[in-house]
Structure 1
């Protein structure tokens, strides 16, 4: 109970105090857009890190050496909880925009920070709008900004992943950027069955070997979703086996 209250209070205070900070960041961006982007990234990462600490998240990170340096990538992960976003975003080495569901665009102040950090909002039931979002993500990657997606399309309620949607893989197929599979374990346990209360949980985030679309055969490029999902499943299975 106390952890939940403290986490919510911190988030609300951060967003309120962040109002003048957003203005300062806007002024910085007039002269140095890159400095504005990096400073905004680090501030949000710090906030997410604090929230996770308050909620008692103990984190184990594996395979960070698999993330290519100096180039944008497409992070692809399984999805179990909102904590997936907070935990993995706090680990991003460079600018990274997340593709999130469109309902988050309606959250005051949070939506401003998300747009500032190149996040995109996906309307799952609108094919035309979804295509526009994917095209914008492609443009971001071409500008050097990484993108993170959860291709299941929604948070899972079980340990079994839903089939990855191949459409989101167009981001890598069209740009040639590496795909970095991420396997995330136990974030569902932070809040599952006792919502809205949180409990201390040991979470594992593992980065798999990058997939380079240009090195694959044409048939394999058509199944990037299945290929990355299989890699994530193998990592999840290995994590589970090591815990037994």
Structure 2
């Protein structure tokens, strides 16, 4: 009974606080149109508020890799909407996100996404998707980093899906590092009906250089990145489960 009550109260507070934060940020970001640091502020606020509310313990490792990062293509595993809360705690400055075009139709959140200078891709239209990749090149050349979920869709904790190649093309063509970031699996590890909901491990891995990589080698670099991230996620999950 107590667990059910905690869960209901948290759901109510999540809806209320998410709505309040989004309205506040929408008004504030109107005066900072397409400033990429809107994304940094928004991510950090969401992360701080909801990690505290849900009492999830999040341990971030390898943050020094972000401190020395120049323009990069950051890739992370994509599990659920909770990704924005977990990864928000280490979201870097001057970073834009690649998202599907339909996001713009989401009230308030989609508009905040637009105001952050983020990039929309139309996956159903190859020509328009290619135009978006040209905008990506411009953003990287202007000193911004790009955050992408190469799986394309959420895995819901059922393992790391296969990677699409867009993030890797962007990195190789612009001669910037690929920066992998992984989190342990949320599914079965977080229970918001408990006072202390659970623990998540997040690790920023060593960057993958692309300076000497050709587009012809993209399959190799995609497979290597997938294997690296999959193995690290498995290692973090074992640690969470107390196996290590």
Normalising by the residue count of structure 1, what TM-score does the alignment of the two structures yield? Answer: 0.82
Distance in 2, matches of 1:171 and 1:68, equals 21
Does residue 76 of structure 1 match 2:75?
Answer: yes
Does residue 227 of structure 1 match 2:187?
Answer: no
* CA positional deviation for 1:40: 6.2
* CA positional deviation for 1:10: 0.7
SS of alignment partner, residue 211 of structure 2: helix
Distance in 1, matches of 2:39 and 2:77, equals 26
Distance in 2, matches of 1:231 and 1:136, equals 29
**8 A contact 2:59–2:200 mirrored in 1:** yes
Distance in 1, matches of 2:218 and 2:176, equals 12
> CA 1:119/1:87 → structure 2, altered by over 3 Å: closer, same or farther?
farther
Does residue 202 of structure 1 match 2:167?
Answer: no
* CA positional deviation for 1:70: 5.1
SS of alignment partner, residue 224 of structure 2: helix
Among candidates 211, 227, 234, match of residue 214 of structure 1 = 211
Does residue 101 of structure 1 match 2:100?
Answer: yes
Aligned position for 1:30: none
Does residue 5 of structure 1 match 2:31?
Answer: no
Name whichever of 210-219 and 103-112 sits farther off.
210-219
Distance in 2, matches of 1:177 and 1:218, equals 13
Aligned position for 1:18: 25
Name the one with the larger helix percent. Answer: 1
Q: CA RMSD in A?
A: 2.6
Aligned position for 1:138: 137
* CA positional deviation for 1:219: 5.1
> CA 1:40/1:189 → structure 2, altered by over 3 Å: closer, same or farther?
same
Distance in 1, matches of 2:214 and 2:147, equals 24
**8 A contact 1:186–1:202 mirrored in 2:** no
Aligned position for 1:29: none
* CA positional deviation for 1:106: 0.8
Does residue 116 of structure 1 match 2:123?
Answer: no
| Structure 1 residue runs without a partner (length 5+) | 27-32
**8 A contact 1:183–1:236 mirrored in 2:** yes
Listed as ranges, the matches of 1:142-157 within 5 Å are 142-157=141-156
SS of alignment partner, residue 46 of structure 1: helix
> CA 1:198/1:176 → structure 2, altered by over 3 Å: closer, same or farther?
farther
Normalising by the residue count of structure 2, what TM-score does the alignment of the two structures yield? Answer: 0.82
